[in-house]
Amino acid sequence: MPRFTIDITDKALAKLQTHVDRTNENQGTALTVQQWLVLHVNEIAIAQDLGAAVDGIRQQEETNARSALEAAVKTARDQLLAALEA
């Protein structure tokens, strides 16, 4: 596995730490700055694939929602027609 070393200033580290702290608080994690950096670099690496996956999921969910709406409307229609005959 390739290994990279980067130098950052103390000021940059302090600013990054605030982001790490916020992430840890929001997600219930205990990431170090190094782990947080690796996570974000990996997220950049998968961004295009994730975007494509999200598009596919969105389309499927829209199809599911449309089908559910059509079924609910049909059920309501059938109930209203039955109520006219009761």
Q: How many whole angstroms separate alpha carbon 28 and alpha carbon 34?
A: 17
What does pTM read for this prediction? 0.67
Q: Is the pLDDT of residue 75 over 90?
A: yes
Tens digits of residue pLDDT in 15-71? 999 999 999 999 999 999 999 999 999 999 999 999 999 999 999 999 999 999 999
Q: How confident is the model at residue 86 (pLDDT cuts 50, 70, 90)?
A: confident
Q: How many whole angstroms separate alpha carbon 27 and alpha carbon 35?
A: 14
The residue extents of the domains of the chain are 10-85
Q: Give one DSSP letter per residue of 17-32, joined into a string.
A: HHHHHHHHHHHT----
